[in-house]
Amino acid sequence: MDFTVIGVDGDDTLWHSEGHFVLTERRFTELLAPWVDAQTVHATLLETERRNLTHFGYGVKGFTLSMVETALQLTEHRIDGRQIREIIGLGKELLAHPVELLDGVADTLEVLSERYRLVLVTKGDLFHQESKVAASGVAERFERIEIVAEKDVVTYARVLARMGVAPAAFCMVGNSVKSDVLPVLEIGGAGVHVPYHVTWALEHAEVELGHPRMAGVAGIREVPDAIAALEAERWAA
Ligand SMILES: [Mg+2]
């Protein structure tokens, strides 16, 4: 059986995202430099984000609130209102950043859409993700757009049920092994890992090498061949 539906991740798979967060964190660190060193800022912010995920979910708004909370904590509330406003401004800039597709995305989606039904599966702020999808210029390649709170086995099972596709006929493509590949393997689907040059610390996962339904490629242009190779392997098995 060949795949009928290909799932594709958004952030850092179709368009740049994490690189902008890294630059924003650098400016946040400069703002706190009078009080605390860069390493402490990084560690505290990450810990605050981790704690806040259950309150705010993924995305820029939660990240912005985590920066504010981190700043208050690390300055023992000495940071003033103007600087808090600057931090909120950093978050707004991050939200307003134009969508930049990664190299090869438009061509690859065109190739894939000729053979497969495509679904975009992305997590983060609903409003921000909707804006990015609209601005990306590739939305029409997708049969469905799924903006989800978490990418786990429950979410993927729900997406597949909505599309009426069996897990064995589904392959997910994305930059996060933890969010885009492992849960899909767990429900019986396949995954193609396309690494981005930076990975958010909370997305780190051990790459499960040698899984028969997983492939790794260097860039998105290699995805159609990797999917075809996974299909050929299944025929041979
Ligand atoms: Mg991603």
Query: 90 and 188, same structural domain?
Result: no
CA 134, CA 210: separation in Å to the nearest integer?
Answer: 37
Q: Taking the model in full, what pTM does it have?
A: 0.91
Between the CA of 106 and the centroid of ligand 1 the distance, in Å, is: 17
Q: Which pLDDT does position 12 carry in this prediction?
A: 96
Q: Which pLDDT does position 234 carry in this prediction?
A: 75
Last-in-domain residue among 63, 96, 129: 96
Between the CA of 233 and the centroid of ligand 1 the distance, in Å, is: 26
Q: CA 197, 19, 211: angle at the middle one, nearest 5? A: 35
Q: Which pLDDT does position 197 carry in this prediction?
A: 83
Q: Which pLDDT does position 204 carry in this prediction?
A: 72
Q: Which pLDDT does position 237 carry in this prediction?
A: 63
Q: What is the total count of domains within the chain? A: 2
Q: Which string of b and e fits 55-77 if b means at least 16 CB within 10 Å?
A: eebbbbbbbbbbbbbbbeebbee
Q: Which pLDDT does position 199 carry in this prediction?
A: 77
Q: Which two three-digit tokens encode residue 60?
A: 């820029």
Query: 120 and 187, same structural domain?
Result: yes
Between the CA of 76 and the centroid of ligand 1 the distance, in Å, is: 34
Between the CA of 149 and the centroid of ligand 1 the distance, in Å, is: 13
Q: Which pLDDT does position 201 carry in this prediction?
A: 74
Between the CA of 209 and the centroid of ligand 1 the distance, in Å, is: 19
Between the CA of 212 and the centroid of ligand 1 the distance, in Å, is: 22
Between the CA of 81 and the centroid of ligand 1 the distance, in Å, is: 34
Least Cα distance to 111 among 231, 215, 229, 228 occurs for 228
In DSSP notation, 121-185 reads: EEES-HHHHHHHHHHHS-GGG-SEEEEES--SHHHHHHHHHHHT--GGGEEEEES-IIIIIHHHH
Q: Which pLDDT does position 152 carry in this prediction?
A: 97
Between the CA of 194 and the centroid of ligand 1 the distance, in Å, is: 9
Instruction: Pick out the chain residues at pLDDT < 50.
Output: none
Range(s) of the domain holding residue 122: 5-16+100-236
Query: 161 and 185, same structural domain?
Result: yes
Last-in-domain residue among 71, 96, 121: 96
